[in-house]
Chain A
Amino acid sequence: MTFGEKIYIPAILKGLSITVGHIFKKKATVSYPEEKRPFSPVFRGLHVLNRDEEGRERCTACGLCALACPAEAITMEGAERKAGEENLYREEKYAAKYEINMLRCIFCGLCEEACPKDAVYLTETVMPANFSRRSFIYKKEDLLIPHPKKQDDSK
């Protein structure tokens, strides 16, 4: 080793110059919740069940999303549309019960890709925390988006 290497001092000074140089660089911290990191437009967050332009539910309880789900998080029960419910549901079959177990869901988006009616869609909302396991099973009422004509104020 050279004399400079043996006494270790030049190496110390070089190291100090690097660390002191880092003081003046931009910091990588994001002060959440004042600043938030931007999400990409295809971010896979919480599920919603869509409606069409007239406010009728798109979901027909075909079960393709439940079949495609690798975590088996979706369950549903179908029901037949009665005579006076034309403006509520698009087709003759609709989902009477539709539940997604958020603790099982891995947010892969395969259900969104499998749906033939463009009913399930993964939005940009991050899943909030909760206290009990039961409250993580989201029912149909939690998932359905507001009616575009009747509930305009909730936008």
Chain B
Amino acid sequence: MLLMQIDWFFIIEKIVLITVILLISLGMAAYATWGERKVAAIMQDRIGPARAGIFGLLQPLADGLKLFFKEEIIPQSSTKIIFVLGPALFMITALMTSAVIPWGPSFEIAGRTVSLQVADINIGVLFIFGVVSLGVYGIMLGGWSSNNKYSLLSSVRAASQAISYELAMGISLIALLMVTGSLSLREIVEQQHGFWNNGWFTWHFFTQPLGFFIFVVCSFAELNRAPFDLPEAESELNMGYHLEYSSMKLGLFLFAEYINMFISSAIMATLFFGGYNYPGMDWVAANVPEWLFVLSCVTVLMIKIVAFILFFMFVRWTLPRFRYDQLMKLGWKSLIPLALVNMLITGGVILWMMS
């Protein structure tokens, strides 16, 4: 009798959605590594990987297999449980954030509404923020459990960079929250319906330009990407928090970084660039079958995400790296005051418009 009372359709629908989103995240992250090498090469007057399959498209497969075949070394004097837990935690928090992003509008199948969002909680933005903060734990545990003072120093630097820029990110999100009035990501996207409404753009990029700018800079710092890639460069140069890792644990650290990049792009596209909305979507919704409309929305979201990922890559291969004190100075002395000023201006404009 219990079996008949469970809503099977709901469970199956959610399981299928979760599987598809995970596969897409992993696939996009794998091909982001390919894209990174190609974009880096094209900007440097050379062609990137071109031999593993046509255009080098099987290169991520080759890299993954190479990492699998390497020897799995766990240092003897390390704390083994935490050693294995570090990269796992990093990867889990990277994948968990994809649960609250609305990937498309809801549609009907057999009389039931299916929404393309795994969990439509009403504190979506807060959830993302919390999970991203948890990701810092992965780095810290990785550095601590290696039992190596240089790894520890590097992971401490990475963690301090992450928490410094989280503050500015949070304050810019508060300003966005004042404009939208809701933390739920589905509502934020629905407020950005279409492109033009009553004389002003609907996307929050136009209502919060300074907030977007601060959010982008803080995203670079959170993802440990150039020009804020001090932890990453240290690992390539001498020591770093993933020095002692080999084979698939190292693979998880590196891969989780690309998944984080994919998810950050998705969040920026959702919060500031309208998610799956595009100009002219009402005309399309009225004139094409529903499944085609949903597909077009998802495609538009993917295009926006890919554009952001390309932007991340362009900036990485253009700018030199920040020194550690310059990085801290920027985070605490420049971005936090700027974010506070943004919040004050937003509050003032809202009060003025309401009166």
Check B315–A23 contact: CB distance below 8 A.
Answer: no
Check A19–B43 contact: CB distance below 8 A.
Answer: yes
Q: Which residues of A contact B45 (CB under 8 A)?
A: 22, 25-28
Task: Name the residue on B nearest A28 (C-beta).
Answer: B45
A19, A25, A26: which contacts B314 (Cβ < 8 A)? A19
Cβ of B50 within 8 Å of any chain A Cβ, yes or no, is: yes
Q: Which residues of B contact A26 (CB under 8 A)?
A: 45
Q: Which residues of A contact B42 (CB under 8 A)?
A: 22-23, 27
A40 CB to nearest chain B CB (Å):
24
Contacts A12-B319, A16-B318, A19-B317; A27 near B43 (Cβ below 8 A)? no
Mark interface residues in B310-353 (1 if CB within 8 Å of A CB, else 0): 00001101110000000000000000000000000000000000
Task: Name the residue on A nearest B47 (C-beta).
Answer: A29
A-B contact count (CB 8 A): 33
Cβ of B198 within 8 Å of any chain A Cβ, yes or no, is: no
Contacts A19-B314, A20-B314; A27 near B319 (Cβ below 8 A)? no
B43, B315, B319: which contacts A22 (Cβ < 8 A)? B43
Cβ of A2 within 8 Å of any chain B Cβ, yes or no, is: no
Check A22–B314 contact: CB distance below 8 A.
Answer: no
Describe A's contact surface by its main secondary structure: helix
Task: Name the residue on B nearest A7 (C-beta).
Answer: B334
Check B314–A27 contact: CB distance below 8 A.
Answer: no
Q: How long is the Cα–Cα vector from A18 to B42 in the complex, in angstroms?
A: 13
Describe B's contact surface by its main secondary structure: loop
Q: Which residues of A contact B314 (CB under 8 A)?
A: 16, 19-20
Check A27–B46 contact: CB distance below 8 A.
Answer: yes
Cβ of A70 within 8 Å of any chain B Cβ, yes or no, is: no
Cβ of B44 within 8 Å of any chain A Cβ, yes or no, is: yes
B44, B46, B50, B315: which contacts A16 (Cβ < 8 A)? B315
Cβ of A116 within 8 Å of any chain B Cβ, yes or no, is: no
Cβ of A15 within 8 Å of any chain B Cβ, yes or no, is: yes
Task: Name the residue on A nearest B330 (C-beta).
Answer: A8
Cβ of A31 within 8 Å of any chain B Cβ, yes or no, is: yes
Q: Which residues of B contact A18 (CB under 8 A)?
A: 318
Q: How long is the Cα–Cα vector from A58 to B62 in the complex, in angstroms?
A: 54
Q: Which residues of A contact B319 (CB under 8 A)?
A: 12, 15
Q: How long is the Cα–Cα vector from A22 to B46 in the complex, in angstroms?
A: 10
Task: Name the residue on B nearest A25 (C-beta).
Answer: B45
Chain B contacts with A in 37-51, Cβ cutoff 8 A: 42-47, 50
Q: How long is the Cα–Cα vector from A15 to B42 in the complex, in angstroms?
A: 15
Q: How long is the Cα–Cα vector from A27 to B41 in the complex, in angstroms?
A: 9
Top 6 closest A-B pairs, CB basis? A19-B318, A15-B318, A29-B46, A19-B43, A29-B47, A28-B45
A19-B317, A27-B46 given; name 19 further pairs at CB < 8 Å. Answer: A15-B319, A16-B314, A16-B318, A18-B318, A19-B43, A19-B314, A19-B318, A20-B43, A20-B314, A22-B43, A22-B44, A22-B45, A23-B43, A27-B42, A27-B45, A28-B45, A29-B46, A31-B47, A31-B50
- In the assembled complex, 5 residue pairs joining A and B whose CB atoms fall closer than 8 Å, in A order, are A16-B314, A16-B318, A19-B318, A27-B45, A27-B46
Binding site for A on B (CB under 8 A): 42-47, 50, 314-315, 317-319
Binding site for B on A (CB under 8 A): 12, 15-16, 18-20, 22-23, 25-29, 31
